[in-house]
Amino acid sequence: MRPNPIVILHGWSDTSQSFGPLAAWLRARGFTVAPVVLGDYLSMTDEITVKDLGFAFRRALDAAGVPQGPHGFDAIVHSTGGLVIREYLRQVCAGQPERTPVQNLLMFSPANFGSPLATLGKSLLGRLTEGWDWNHFGQTGRAILDALELASPYSWDLAMNDLFDPAMPVYDSAHTFLTVIGGTAAYSGFRAALHENGSDGTVRVSTASLNAALLKLDCAGPDPIASLRVERNCPELALAVLNRDHSAVHDPADPRQTAIWEQTVLDALTLDPSQYSAHTGRCAQIAQATFAAGLADSPNPERYHQYQTLVVRVRDQFGAPVNDYMIEFYQEADDDTDSVFTALHGDILEKVTTNSVDSSYRSFLLDCTDLTAFLDAHPAAQVELSISAANLSERITYRNPQRGVMVFTGADRTLVRPNATLLVDVTLYRDSTAAVFRLAAAP
């Protein structure tokens, strides 16, 4: 096995005890395991941010004697640990991905683009259930939970750095060999009532995956909206999906898909960069097999639909947020019965979430299984995305486009991205009317 120590980083409000079985399983296979436990610090107070945790993680590694030179250690993270390790790598690499200390990185259901349960942690119920500790009495780590919300400004900013900055391809396999293992099973018992399809009960597969895409829309006008697809700074990243829930996705004792779990974990920690493309392909096959088996055998086959998350951010030309806007999916021509609008808004678009910190960010959950079926049945369909914002006053208005931008068609499904997040960055122009300012001739 590789000589690197493995650092295990658990999720928010969890403890290192949850990862004792995984550490024992790894040791039995010859791995050196060095758990670094941030969650056991006084880290649930409300002022601490993910950036603070990234910095604290670096100091904890120093204190534990874990080497932080290039490829000095391997890491396994779960849930919120995904954001912490990414923040750490952003701080350490600072645009020089060859400096990455992490050689092999295995993420179990990381909340890379948030979790639908983050808002619950900020609620009164969350403070009562998770804040019962004298070290952080009544507090649940509000700044961390802000970052963990769907469509959070933090997760957007982080992705702009480590996924779309051409100078920061840290997840190219030559730098960091990354594997994500997500889950698509519901919790048992009362927690099943909170289950969201396309998730493992806590994190969506689509927001765990780092195979994000970025679409920039400029609404300067005149129509049509100018669109630009920005390429990710790394190739397709390994994503396996297993029939496990969030609490069991990292557990070697869980009986579901045990052999597949074991082989994928071992591959994630031992393969070299020349094998990454084949590893990515095997992980994709595992994901498709899990979804196919669930559709065929589960009493709740809708849980095994594949979803994508759209994260929309709207700014004006000055970079200020546009908070009051509406997104619609429709077909402009040759759809007198509004079949596209009805299908998208009635069946395919399952959930819209407005970020509580900055309402210019919103999350849209699309059922790609239903979307693909609709496009197959309607090959002439042309699905456009339209945007319109409420004017601020009679003097300050928005230049709302009169037409949408094409996103899905029967023939072009480039932006149909199952098990991934599509970031849509919209610039909507703000206009000042003649009542705001004028020049007059000098007397």
Q: Is the pLDDT of residue 133 over 60?
A: no
Say if residue 318 is in the same domain as residue 293: no
Q: Does residue 154 sit in the same domain as residue 268?
A: yes
- To the question of pTM greater than 0.85 for the whole model, the response is yes
* Average pLDDT estimate for 430-436: 91
Q: Are residues 249 and 336 in the same domain?
A: no
Same domain (yes/no): 28, 160: yes
Q: Are 344 and 381 in contact (CB under 8 A)?
A: no
Residue 442 lies in a domain: no
pLDDT tens profile 80-96: 999 999 999 999 999 89
Neighbours of 285 (CB within 10 A): 11
Q: Which of 62-71, 141-150, 419-428 has the highest mean pLDDT?
A: 419-428
Q: Judge whether 217 lies within some domain.
A: no
The total of structural domains in the chain comes to 2
Of 30-39, 281-290, 370-379, give the lowest mean pLDDT range.
30-39
Q: Are residues 282 and 353 in the same domain?
A: no
Structural domain that includes position 330: 307-432
Q: Are residues 345 and 264 in the same domain?
A: no
- Rounded CA-CA distance 365/308 in Å is 6
The average pLDDT across 206-223 equals 95
Domain assignment present for residue 438? The answer is no
Question: Are residues 60 and 36 part of one domain?
Answer: yes
**Based on the domain organization, do 372 and 296 belong to the same domain?**
no
Last residue of a domain, one of 303, 328, 361: 303
Residues 311 and 366 occupy one common structural domain: yes
Q: In this structure, is residue 142 part of a structural domain?
A: yes
Same domain, 107 and 237: yes
pLDDT value at residue 137: 39
Same domain for 287 and 160? Answer: yes
Give dist(CA 346, CA 344) in Å, integer: 6
Give yes or no for a contact between 151 and 352, defined as CB atoms under 8 angstroms apart.
no
Kindly give, in sequence order, each residue whose CB lies less than 8 Å from that of residue 140, ignoring residues fewer than 6 positions away: 13, 44, 46, 121, 122, 126, 127, 130, 131
Residue 28 pLDDT class (50, 70, 90 cuts): very high
Mean pLDDT, the chain, as a whole number? 90
Rounded average pLDDT over 245-270: 96
The helix (run of H) or strand (run of E) holding residue 328 is strand 325-330
Q: Kindly state the average pLDDT of the residues 336-345.
A: 94
- Among 9-18, 82-91, 164-173, 422-431, the minimum mean pLDDT is found in 9-18
CATH number at residue 337: 2.60.40
- Res 135 pLDDT > 80: no
CATH number at residue 43: 3.40.50.1820
Shared domain check, 294 and 170: yes
pLDDT, tens only, 57-74: 999 899 889 999 999 999
Residues whose CB is less than 8 angstroms from the CB of residue 238 and which lie 6 or more positions away in sequence, other chains included: 178, 179, 180, 268, 276, 279, 280, 283
Looking at 303, 322, 345, the residue that finishes a domain is 303
Query: Closest by alpha carbon to 18, among 105, 62, 60, 80?
Result: 80
Choosing from 250, 272, 303, the residue where a domain stops is 303
Strand partners, 213: 422
